[in-house]
């Protein structure tokens, strides 16, 4: 059994990852959220809730302690939060991190070949990815296409340096890939994966 920290556990991806982990593993989940009321029912035998602010190091240090895998799926101050998570992981000697970012952060969609020519709206997502990739952590960056609420698991993966293929993807697909990696932490270590509907 592993200890898994879900930062953003009540979000549109984190909530599906939470559900999938509860049904596919015996892992213990720590649910890090700003508002615990958004979580619904808690399985107290397998879940611990921490109400906190990911922009505050003290909150993250408490959450990261004794974790095996850290999953980040948040909005807002993504570079600051990501740097704080990386620092908390170093403080607590935790090595495995998975970050949800966005397609387009390497200009891999309709690319002109310049990986630094990124649309301004994607800059925070790129900075967050750079933070985990440039750390000494065992990281995976997941770069989803636009989410939709379809329930299919029909998806394809592209790797960093490849042109991104496809445009939409179900939240369920993003959660499925995330859950697979969390359940098998050696999968896609130090990779950046684009995900879209096949």
Q: pLDDT digits over 85-110, tens only? A: 999 999 999 999 999 999 999 988 86
Q: Are strands 3-7 and 28-33 parallel, antiparallel or unpaired?
A: parallel
Structure tokens of 120? Answer: 């301004």
Q: Report the 10 Å Cβ neighbour count for 163.
A: 12
Residues in the chain: 198
Average pLDDT over residues 138-149: 96
For residue 115, name the pLDDT band (cuts at 50, 70, 90): low
Strands annotated E in the chain: 3-7, 28-33, 47-51, 69-72, 96-100, 138-144, 146-148, 155-159, 168-170, 191-197
Q: Higher confidence at residue 116 or residue 83? A: 83
Q: What is the pLDDT of residue 116?
A: 64
CA dihedral 11→12→18→23, nearest 10 degrees, is 160
Q: What percent of the chain has pLDDT over 90?
A: 88
Average pLDDT over residues 5-16: 97
Nearest-5° Cα angle at 138, 78 to 177: 70
Could you tell me the end-to-end alpha-carbon distance of the chain, in angstroms, rounded to an integer?
A: 32
Lowest mean pLDDT among 12-21, 27-36, 50-59, 119-128: 119-128
Mean pLDDT of the chain: 94
Q: What percent of the chain has pLDDT over 70?
A: 96
Average pLDDT over residues 39-54: 97
């Amino acid at each position: 059994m592993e200890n898994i920290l879900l930062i953003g556990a009540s979000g549109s991806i984190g909530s599906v990852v939470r559900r999938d982990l509860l049904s596919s593993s015996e892992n213990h989940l720590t649910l890090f959220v700003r508002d615990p009321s958004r979580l619904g029912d808690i399985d107290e035998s397998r879940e611990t809730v921490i109400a906190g602010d990911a922009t505050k190091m003290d909150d993250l240090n408490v959450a990261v302690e004794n974790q095996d895998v850290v999953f980040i799926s948040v909005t807002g101050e993504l570079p600051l939060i990501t740097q704080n998570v990386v620092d908390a992981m170093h403080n607590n000697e935790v090595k495995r991190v998975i970050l949800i970012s966005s397609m387009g952060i390497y200009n891999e969609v309709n690319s002109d070949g310049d990986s630094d020519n990124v649309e301004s709206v994607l800059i925070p997502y790129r900075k967050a990815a750079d933070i985990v990739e440039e750390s000494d952590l065992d990281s995976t960056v997941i770069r989803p296409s636009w989410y939709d609420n379809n329930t299919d698991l029909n998806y394809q993966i592209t790797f960093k340096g490849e042109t991104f293929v496809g445009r939409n993807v179900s939240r369920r697909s993003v959660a499925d890939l995330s859950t697979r990696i969390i359940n098998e932490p050696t999968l896609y270590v130090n990779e950046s994966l684009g995900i879209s509907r096949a």
